[in-house]
Amino acid sequence: MSFNYDLFVIGAGPGGLAASERAAKYKARVAIAEQDRIGGTCVVHGCIPEKMMSYAASFSQIFKNADEYGWGKVQENFDWGQFIAARNREINHLSRLHTQHLQEAGVERLKGHVRFLDPHTLEIEGNQITADKILIAVGGKDTKPDIPGVEYAISLREMLQLEQQPEHLAIIGDNHIAVKLAGIMNGLISKVSQIIEEDKILPGCDEETQTTIQEEMTKLGIRICSNSFVEKIEPAQNCLNLILSGSSEPVTVETAVFVTGRVPNLDGLGLENAGVEVNKDGIAVDEYSRTSVANIFAVGDCTPRPHWTPVAIAAGRAFADTEFGKHSRTINYENIPYVLASQPEAATVGLTEAQARAQFGESVCCYSKKFQPLFNLIGEIDQNTFLKLVVDGNSDRVVGAHMVGHYAAEVIQTIGLAMKAGVTKKHFDNTIGIHPTVSEEFFTLR
């Protein structure tokens, strides 16, 4: 059977872009379809704009130390409109760069919504096309709960598009994205209330890391309403009243943002027409990203795989290498480092202490330290840095590393490489660090 394309990719986010460009290098005839701007959630609506906002927020902490470092008192006067305009210019520039890379690779770009008609046939904007292999890389989307008044609340994506900065906002959610947003908006001098259903933020995270981040957020002025959930939202004059479970007093804010989770963005794809199996976590895939249909594959946030941009990129490239490069390979999803872009920043790789004890039992040894970093010794900032290594005592192998503090992501990323190579606690003990740095303290943990 003759097909229009060797590969058709649905979704031009990190996974789809990586797969299409790699497959095109193997001389495959490739097309990619996207409804939004090229780049997907990460570039346009997620990681990149959020990171830029995190950079902007970090200045408020630096300013607090500027006076005693000899720079005089810095006036805190953040211009939301000026920053958003600059951020959007750079996002548009990045999107154009990704479009250019597709053109240079020889990938045909189509714009519009795609729907399956059968395992090899797709419909896009009224036109039918066929492909030998199809890759689904449609990502995820924000969700909001079904409660009275939820229409007055906004999603994270809508939050990032606001033209005016909220003076007081409620962030509903306890995951890493909610924690990130709370820290950002607090750093940009908004008043922030974060509403979480459990006792602590970041469920599933290492307990000492959870506690440290929550304590530091509270010191920064973020109000955390624990063991609460929003039962309903009532509009009032120029504000919203959030009625919380078990509380007689509502939380009154200007803006309410639900960051309670994301789901695979599968609406309208017509997966049932192709026979693609979907479970509660998304599109079911095997170790080669193949779905229940032999010629259809999926990568990224629409699958049960870890929802991180580098994971989608790695899976997309592995798919292309396997299917078009005659180099069969899979991805190892163990020990993937990730950042908790809180204020202060945190990062982690490997097992939490609780996970390690469940796996290795009483042999587990933990080494940790909490201290004021050198930068904070002059100035007004009172913000602890926290380091922790989790070690399997039987083998001396480091099975987890956790950090809260400036540059945590950069430090933990390198430890992730060492853990892949089987680093032991003895290796840390025998390493001489660069002084004075925060990361050298990992080599002094006893």
Domain parsing of the chain, residue ranges: 5-46+81-141+263-324, 150-260, 344-443
pLDDT of 198: 93
Instruction: List the one residue out of 44, 48, 55 whose CA is nearest residue 92.
Output: 44
Which DSSP category does 46 fall into? Answer: S
Give the pLDDT band of residue 65 (cuts 50, 70, 90). confident
Instruction: List the one residue out of 94, 99, 95, 96 whose CA is nearest residue 110.
Output: 99
| Residues in contact with 123: Cβ distance below 8 Å, sequence separation at least 6, in sequence order | 114, 115, 116, 117, 129
**If you average pLDDT over residues 394-413, what whole number do you get?**
96
Give the pLDDT band of residue 120 (cuts 50, 70, 90). very high
Instruction: List the one residue out of 213, 188, 207 whose CA is nearest residue 342.
Output: 213
pTM of the model: 0.94
| Residues in contact with 106: Cβ distance below 8 Å, sequence separation at least 6, in sequence order | 24, 30
Sign of the alpha-carbon torsion through 246, 247, 250, 254: negative
Cα separation, 40 vs 17, in Å, equals 9
Instruction: List the one residue out of 291, 318, 277, 296 whose CA is nearest residue 18.
Output: 318
Instruction: Note whether 5-46+81-141+263-324 and 150-260 share their fold.
Output: yes
According to DSSP, the residues that pair with 424 across neighbouring strands are 397
Checking DSSP bridges between strand 108-111 and strand 30-34, what pairing results, if any? Answer: parallel
Instruction: List the one residue out of 115, 148, 158, 161 whose CA is nearest residue 134.
Output: 115
Per-residue pLDDT of 151-198, as tens digits, reads 999 999 999 999 999 999 999 999 999 999 999 999 999 999 999 999
Cα separation, 385 vs 373, in Å, equals 6
Kindly state which CATH superfamily the domain 344-443 is placed in. Answer: FAD/NAD-linked reductase, C-terminal dimerisation domain (3.30.390.30)
Distances (CA, A) of 47 to 44, 140, 329, 353: 8, 13, 27, 28
Instruction: List the one residue out of 182, 193, 149, 185 whose CA is nearest residue 164.
Output: 185
Give the pLDDT band of residue 343 (cuts 50, 70, 90). confident
According to DSSP, the residues that pair with 155 across neighbouring strands are 258
pLDDT of 378: 87
227 contacts 197 by C-beta, under 8 angstroms:
yes
- Tokens standing for 28? 């495959």
Instruction: Sort residue 165 into left (φ over 0), alpha (ψ -120 to 50) or beta.
Output: beta
Q: What angle do CA 378, 383, 384 make, to 5 degrees?
A: 110
| Residues in contact with 228: Cβ distance below 8 Å, sequence separation at least 6, in sequence order | 195, 196, 197, 244, 245, 246, 247
For the chain, give the number of residues.
446
Counting DSSP H helices and E strands in the chain, the numbers are 12, 24
Give the pLDDT band of residue 73 (cuts 50, 70, 90). confident
Cα separation, 145 vs 143, in Å, equals 7
The least confident of 42-46, 107-111, 240-244, 318-322 is 42-46
Whether pLDDT at 248 is above 80: no
From the candidates 176, 327, 427, 435, give the one annotated as an active-site residue: 435
Give the pLDDT band of residue 211 (cuts 50, 70, 90). very high
Is residue 427 among the annotated active site residues? no
Average pLDDT, the chain: 95
Give the pLDDT band of residue 1 (cuts 50, 70, 90). confident
Give the pLDDT band of residue 20 (cuts 50, 70, 90). very high
Domain 150-260, what fold? FAD/NAD(P)-binding domain (3.50.50)
398 contacts 419 by C-beta, under 8 angstroms:
yes
The class of domain 5-46+81-141+263-324 in CATH terms is: alpha beta
385 contacts 371 by C-beta, under 8 angstroms:
yes
